[in-house]
Structure 1
Amino acid sequence: MTADTIAAPRAPHETPRPRGRGRNLEKLGWLYMRISGVLLVVLIFGHLFVNLMLGEGIHGIDFAFVAGKFASPFWQWWDVLMLWLALIHGANGMRTIVNDYVTGATTRKVLVWALWIAAGFLILLGTLVVFTFDPCLGVDSSTTDWLIEKCAAG
C-alpha cells in the first residue's frame, strides 16, 4: 500500500442479511437524522429568537418568563417536541458511533441499550417537567408581583 491510497474499511461486525422486503432500520435511522435535523434547526432558532430577541432579550429571562411560557400549551408542545427530537437525534447519533467503533458484540449491545435507556429516562423526565410545571409552588412575598397575583387568583 502506498502513501496515497486509502486503507480498505473494516469488515462489518455482522454478516449482512439478504435484502428482503422487511424494514430497513438503518435506513429509517438515516432518514430520521435528516428530517429531525431540519426540524431541530427551525425549533432551536425559533426558541432562541423568542427568548433572546423579543422583549427585553436575555435580561428578561427569569422564573416569571419561564412560568409564562409554560402556561401556554403552544410553548409546552414546542419545547417538548424540541426535547424529544434532540434526545432521540443525539441517541441515534451515539448509537451510530458505538456501532462504528465498538468491536465486541456484547459490549456494543450493552452500550446501545444504555444509550436508549438514558434517552428514554431523560425524555420521560423532561416531558413530566414541562407538563406538570407549577409556577405557584413555593410562591412567597419575595417573588415577582405578576406571579403572586396569578397564583392568588388561581
Structure 2
Amino acid sequence: MTTIAEPRAPRAPRNRRSTRGNFELYGWIFMRVSGVVLLVLIFGHLFVNLVQGEGISAVDFGFVAGKWASPLWQVWDLLMLWLAMIHGANGVRTIINDYAERDSVRLALKTALMASLVVVVVLGTLVIFTFDPCPVDSPANLLPSFCSA
C-alpha cells in the first residue's frame, strides 16, 4: 500500500544546497513590476504604430528610420527590448531551476540562456543607437527616397 504525505508535511530536502537568498524575492518583484511597465510600453508602441498612424501597411524602413530619429522612441524601444528580454530570461531561469534536476544541466542551460540574453540585448542596443538610414558614401540607388544623395 502506498501512502501519500500530508499536504502540510515538510518536504524532503533536495540534495543541492540553496544559495538563492533574497535573489528569488527580487526576481519575483521584478517580474511583477516589469510586467506592468511592459504592458504600458507595448500598448503604447502598438497604439502609435498601428492605430494613430496608417496601420501596418505604413510600417516600413522609412517609418522606422523616422521614428528612431527621435531620442524618445530610441529610449522607448530600448526599454521595451531590455525589459522584455530580462523578463523573459528570468521566467526561463525559473523554469530551468524548477525542472533541471542535475546541477551540470542546470548550469549549462542557464549559461546558454544568459549568453543569448547578452547577445540579443547588446546587438539590439547597437542597432537602436547606431542605426543610420542614410550612410555616407552609399550608392544613391541603394538609399531610401528620403535621403539626400
Residues 105, 76 of structure 1: alpha-carbon distance in 2 compared, 3 angstrom cutoff = same
> CA separation in 2, counterparts of 1:74 and 1:42?
15
The number of equivalent residue pairs is 143
Q: Name the CA distance, whole Å, in 1 between partners of 2:139 and 2:70.
A: 20
| Superposition deviation, residue 89 in structure 1 | 0.5
Query: What SS does the aligned partner of 1:55 have?
Result: coil
1:128-143 matched pairs, under 5 angstroms: 128-137=126-135, 138=138, 140-141=140-141
Following superposition, the deviation at residue 118 of structure 1 comes to 0.7
The CA RMSD over aligned residues, in Å, is: 2.7
Output one character per residue of 1:1-46: Cα deviation in whole Å (capped at 9) or x when no partner: 68xx98x9775453356xxxx9610001111111100000000000
Q: Which residue of 2 aligns with 1:86?
A: 84
Q: TM-score, with normalisation over the residues of structure 1?
A: 0.81
Structure 1 residue 130, shift from structure 2 partner: 0.2
AA in 1 matched with 2:83: L
Contact 1:13–1:103 (CA under 8 A) maintained in structure 2:
no
**In structure 2, C-alpha distance between the alignment counterparts of 1:52 and 1:114, rounded to whole Å:** 35
| Partner secondary structure for residue 52 of structure 1 | helix
CA separation in 2, counterparts of 1:129 and 1:95? Answer: 26
Counterpart CA distance in 2 for 1:144 and 1:15 is: 58
Please tell me the residue identity of whatever aligns with 2:99. Y
The offset of 1:141, in angstroms, is: 4.3
